[in-house]
Structure 1
Amino acid sequence: MSDAPEPHDSAGRAARLRAALAESPPLLWSFLYFFCLLSGYYVLRPVREAMVASSDIAAVFPPALVAAFDRRGIALGEFVPQFIFTSVFVIMLLLQPAYGWLVSRFARRVFLPVIYGFFIATLLVFHAMFDSGVAGRGLAFVLWLTVFNLFAVAVFWSFMADVYTNAQARRYYGYIGAAGTIGAFTGPALTGLLVQRVGIPNMMLVSCVLLALCVVCILRLRPHAVLREQAQGQRSGEVPMGGEVLAGLKLVAREPLLRWLALMVVLGVGVGTLLYNEQIAIARTAFQTAEQRTAYFSRIDLAVNTLTLVVQLLVTRALMSRFGIAPALLIPGAAIIVGFSVLAASPLPILIAVVQVVTRASEFSLAKPARETIYTRVGREWRYKAGAAIDTVIYRGGDLTFVWVHKALSAFGSNVVFGAGLAIASLMTFSAWRLLREEAKLPSERTQRPISAKRPTAP
């Protein structure tokens, strides 16, 4: 890499992108893959948020469940986020062994298309449920979409670590993230444009088409992953990796790097959960219909994705290429600390929205690509099993913990909620620093090949 200063005009950035596409043939398919994946998710995300914020309990929960809570004198409508987050965590616990079994027993060419095929098939079921107005459809859809987001995105980044080296990841992950952000920008725009014309059920079909394109991209990227593995003498992903179905959780418990990574993710979830619940409370009182709430959440997503795209195109690549992942991990923590300090002093709704946008944008544009870069320097079991465990069951364990923490703290007012958030953000930044110390002990790609299950040692 040259140390000469790079031009900052748009023509210079476009030239660098063209050069990257020319020197890395799989990059275009990676762009399309992440674009379609996040477009498909963000088409549906406003529908999920509208269901969570809905005042129509019958649309969200099955009648039998509502009646069971009523008999115990509990108003289920007052515990919607808590119930949903608890249910998602239980589902993640049940799915983690199933996912571990799938990736252990089947080759990459099998389990990647199977995962996306499963999501497409279930979306067709939801199309029928929403079209016929089945009671309780909201809960089922919210749980499904949350699981889809975590597993589908976790699998994407694990696959990218099969395709790209560490040096390539630092150069290209910003671009790949930007392609996903454009998709995340396109998804809510499509929903905002179409949902009140064609209705919520037909948005499921739009998402199905986008996920089908993801499968095409997987098939086109597979040969490049094989070439990279052959060039570096790694074990082929075209054969089952074997190992235990719970190896991911065991690796996280055993390895310091993975423990600090998991702690950083959990604390980041805590920060986001506090803001998320404030947003839900505002939407529930401000909007009367599911379509209005869906349009509202789509506008917030557009703001987040606009800021994310700007940072990814102008900052992420240069930062990670020149300075490594340290600034990308530490800057979001500093920004969140400042934001929560402001909210603890003055928790105005407009400030909550601004901090939410900054928090999510910094996670997507800086922290997430930096964390995923680490996986290019370790073995496939760390990528597909430990990485998936952190991004699913551990992530949702953080959700579950902090949604109840918010419920307890909210009784004392917003200032207390955001004061606690300030402490959480400070601990998150500390865990990022400790993660960087562990990451520095990993062998470079020039000196040692990644190991699958044993902890990599310093060169």
Structure 2
Amino acid sequence: MSSADEHHASAGRAARFRAALAESPPLLWSFLYFFCLLSGYYVLRPVREAMAASSDVEAVFPPALIAFFAERGVALGEFTLQFIFTAVFLIMLLLQPVYGWLVSRFARRVFLPVIYGFFIVTLLLFHAMFDSGVAGRGLAFILWITVFNLFAVAVFWSFMADVYSNIEAKKYYGYIGAAGTIGAFLGPILTRSLVERVGIPNMMLVSAVLLTVCVACILRLRRYAVLREAERRQVSGEKPMGGEVLAGLKLVLKEPLLRWLALMVVLGVGVGTLLYNEQNRIARTAFASAEERAAFFSTLDLAVNSLTLVVQLFVTRALMSRFGIAPALLIPGAAIIFGFSILSASPLPLMVAIVQVVTRASEFSLAKPARETIYTRVGREWRYKAGAAIDTVIYRGGDLTFVWVHKALSAFGSNVVFGAGLLIASAMTFSAWRLLKEEAKLPSERAPRPATPEAVRSR
């Protein structure tokens, strides 16, 4: 392609982006929201990875916990990831009814700011813990950031399904995802640039500021969600949705579409967990300090986010607008199957890193936006309760299962680990195909009827 053609194509993409902003005013606030959310998370993610891969067990676990396991003949440092994933799953089980109670009993304008406010306050507490060197701070932070990532992002996409219709989601979710990816670029850059100069504790404050901007975006976007609900004569999200606190898990058990969606997520977690554990094993032996490991993981995140952004800007929107969600769900499965086929034959460290980048990028840029568009065609309990249950308890249940599967398989070598991963990736792709069959049964989105200003104000 000549430089003139490239310039013309670039101008066309810019024009389409400007047109999207003009026809959908909430897009700008959605961009800022997701940008700050993922930037705030990725500022902290390298710190989490450095702690999880740390060879200094006392920096991760409280002395009393280390002594408890030592008295029983267990070296806790050899089971760091298994312990963490088990603890996270148990925390998710405890938090699921709390979250269900919150979204059942309070209106959207209350529970969304409360969730993010909780994370901001706890970040300030972690700043104090890391600044004073409290023993066991690593474990507490790893557990916290894992819960934060799942709940904060799950709530974001549930809220977007309130703001956008299914047709709009196919047009705009790629753009929104790209804004988040740009934020995910900024986070590792900030960490890589600042962590060795200002220290880990002050990175907590950077993240807290970014989450505060998210709360401002929620307050601004709320009126667009109200307008969409009024146009479609839907039940207002400004009223408590009611229902049972465990309705999300019950819906997943009851509804075939949600069951296949949950299975796809669990198997995707299985693929990611196998790669994640191999990656941590490599980092533990290759790098001596937490700062070096944080720099390595931030570099890996930058590679993931670079590929994700390219796909989101040039592929996702066109693919979903023209062909629906099927290619976006099936292409990642095919890519992962190919990658694991290579790893099962030649599990070189560099190849593990490459497949990790491709796997995470395809999930963020294609599979995740495709799955989230489904929630625009279902009720609020499916969005906020079932969706959150899949992205938290069920997701972490998959983590817990496969972290122990990896522990068992790793005794037989990397080839066996990745051979099992190939089977898991194949099953994930099959579940995506079944999910598409169920998604086709959903009713088509009805054309909205204009809402009067009085109806909107009354909500």
Count of residue pairs brought into register by the alignment: 444
Match of 1:25 in 2: 25
How far apart, in 2, do the equivalents of 1:97 and 1:297 lie?
34
Q: Name the structure 2 match of 1:292.
A: 292
Paired with 1:9 and 1:153, the residues of 2 have a C-alpha distance of 33
Sequence identity percentage:
85
Distance 2:64 2:20 in 1: 56
Asked if the contact 1:7/1:13 (under 8 Å) is kept, the reply is no
* Alignment match, 1:91: 91
- Tell me if structure 1 keeps the 8 A contact 2:287–2:293: yes
- C-alpha deviation, 1:311, in angstroms: 0.2
> Any conservation in 2 of the 1:38–1:181 contact (CA below 8 Å)?
yes
1:448 Cα deviation after fit? 10
| Alignment match, 1:137 | 137
CA distance in 1, matches of 2:263, 2:226: 32
Q: Distance in 2 between matches of 1:240 and 1:87?
A: 31
**Alignment partner, residue 452 of structure 2:** none
CA distance in 1, matches of 2:218, 2:260: 31
What is the CA–CA distance in structure 1 between the aligned matches of 2:304 and 2:20, rounded to whole Å?
Answer: 26
SS of residue matched to 1:215 = helix
Matched letter for residue 339 of structure 2: G
- Alpha-carbon distance, 1:8 to partner: 7.3
Q: Which residue of 2 aligns with 1:271?
A: 271
1:421 corresponds to: 421
How big is the alpha-carbon RMSD for the aligned residues of Structure 1 and Structure 2? 1.2
* C-alpha deviation, 1:10, in angstroms: 1.2
5+ residue gaps in structure 2? 1-5, 450-459
Counterpart CA distance in 1 for 2:149 and 2:138 is: 16
Residue aligning to 2:80? 80
2: CA distance between counterparts of 1:136 and 1:8?
56
Task: Please say if 1:194 is aligned against 2:194.
Answer: yes
> What letter matches 1:57 in structure 2?
V
In 2, the alpha carbon distance for the partners of 1:284 and 1:411 equals 17
Letter in 1 for 2:358: V
The equivalent residue for 1:118 is 118
Rate the CA distance shift 1:8–1:373 in 2: closer, same or farther, 3 A: farther
Q: Describe how 1:302-313 pairs up with structure 2 within 5 A.
A: 302-313=302-313
Amino acid at match of 1:107: A
Provide Cα deviations, 1:322-352, integer angstroms capped at 9, x if missing partner: 0000000000000000000000000000000
Paired with 1:335 and 1:93, the residues of 2 have a C-alpha distance of: 32
Match of 2:237 in 1: 237
Amino acid at match of 2:114: V
Give 3-state SS (helix, strand or coil) of 2:444's partner: coil
| Whole-angstrom CA distance in 2 between matches of 1:9 and 1:41 | 33
Matching residue of 1:359: 359
Distance 1:447 1:209 in 2: 40
Distance across 2 between alignment mates of 1:11 and 1:147 = 41
Q: How far apart, CA to CA, are the structure 1 residues paired with 2:142 and 2:415?
A: 29
Instruction: Say whether the 8 Å CA contact 1:124–1:205 is kept in structure 2.
Output: yes
Instruction: Please name the residue that 1:107 is paired with.
Output: 107
- The residue that corresponds to 1:325 in the other structure is 325
Report how far residue 241 of structure 1 moved.
0.2
Pair 448,22 (structure 1): closer, same or farther in 2 beyond 3 Å: closer
CA distance in 1, matches of 2:120, 2:361: 28
The Cα shift of 1:447 comes to 7.4
**Partner Cα separation in structure 2 for residue 37 and residue 113 of structure 1:** 13
**Partner in structure 2 of residue 212 of structure 1:** 212
For 1:214 and 1:428, the matched residues in 2 are separated by 33
Deviation at 1:421, TM superposition (A): 0.2
Question: 2:26 is matched by which residue type in structure 1?
Answer: P
Report the TM-score when normalising by structure 2: 0.96
Q: Look up the match of 1:433.
A: 433
How far apart, CA to CA, are the structure 2 residues paired with 1:292 and 1:63?
Answer: 25
Structure 1 residues not aligned, in runs of 5+: 1-5, 450-459
1:46–1:151 Cα change, 3 Å: same
2:3 equivalent in structure 1: none
1:11 is displaced (CA, Å) by 1.1
Distance (Å, rounded) in 2 between the aligned partners of 1:250 and 1:404: 26
Instruction: After TM superposition, give the deviation of residue 426 of structure 1 in Å.
Output: 0.2
Say if 2:231 and 2:448, in contact at 8 Å, map to a contact too. Answer: no
Tell me if the contact between 2:232 and 2:448 (Cα under 8 Å) persists in the aligned partners: no
Residue 7 of structure 1 deviates from its aligned partner by 9.8
Give the CA deviation at 1:446: 2.0
- C-alpha deviations, 1:376-417, integer Å up to 9, x for none? 000000000000000000000000000000000000000000
Q: Which deviations, in whole Å up to 9, do the C-alpha atoms of 1:419-448 show, x marking residues without a partner?
A: 000000000000000000000000011279
Letter in 2 for 1:370: A
Report the 3-state secondary structure (helix = DSSP H, G, I; strand = E; otherwise coil) of the residue aligned with 2:446. coil
What's the counterpart of residue 337 of structure 1? 337
**Separation in structure 1 between the aligned mates of residue 243 and residue 187 of structure 2, nearest angstrom:** 38
